[in-house]
Amino acid sequence: MKNAHDFSRDLTIDGRIKAEEERLLKIYKDIPKNARNLIIGLIERASFLRVTLSDYEKDIHQNGATEMYCQSKEKQIEFERKKPITQLYNQMTKNYAAIIKQLTDLLPKGESKLKDDSLLKFIKK
């Protein structure tokens, strides 16, 4: 059985996002209907961010977090800089953590089905 944190590479991006949405919806299936309408948007954003972050992680792992960069063709002095994808990754990670925190706060007390999620443990520190 696949780990819930694994995303199948044979699915399209939309398919991976949909699978993550379904995973999160199962966790929140017992939320009252009035609150459920509030979480749909959060679940959609969290799913998109999680799939995108997974892709960014793979890129950073394979290609590194820095690159050589030259501002001017005349001077041709190169310097090392953070790749733009690392800045996006850092921003998106903060956004994802905030959304997961919001979603977790909506779970009935004592019924957190995300207690094994390492991100949740980090957020609660």
Q: Which token pair is 29? A: 């299936």
Q: In the prediction, which pLDDT does 81 show? A: 85
Q: How far apart are CA 36 and CA 81, in angstroms?
A: 43
CA distances from 48 to 28, 58, 63, 93, 95 (A): 17, 16, 22, 12, 11
72 occurs within a structural domain: no
pLDDT digits (tens, 9 = 90+) for 10-28: 689 999 999 999 999 999 9
6 occurs within a structural domain: no
Q: In the prediction, which pLDDT does 118 show? A: 60
115 occurs within a structural domain: yes
Contacts of 67 (CB under 8 A, 6+ apart): 80, 81, 83
20 occurs within a structural domain: yes
27 occurs within a structural domain: yes
3 occurs within a structural domain: no
Is pLDDT of 124 > 70?
Answer: no
Q: Token match 């959304």: residue?
A: 99
Angle (CA) 14 19 24, round 5°: 125
Q: Which residue range(s) make up the domain with 103?
A: 13-55+83-124
The pTM for the full model equals 0.74
CA distances from 44 to 15, 24, 41, 51 (A): 13, 9, 5, 11
98 occurs within a structural domain: yes
Q: How confident is the model at residue 48 (pLDDT cuts 50, 70, 90)?
A: very high
Q: In the prediction, which pLDDT does 7 show? A: 54
pLDDT digits (tens, 9 = 90+) for 74-120: 777 787 889 999 999 999 999 999 999 999 988 877 655 554 566 65
Contacts of 49 (CB under 8 A, 6+ apart): 92, 95, 96, 99
1 occurs within a structural domain: no
Please state the domain count of the chain.
1
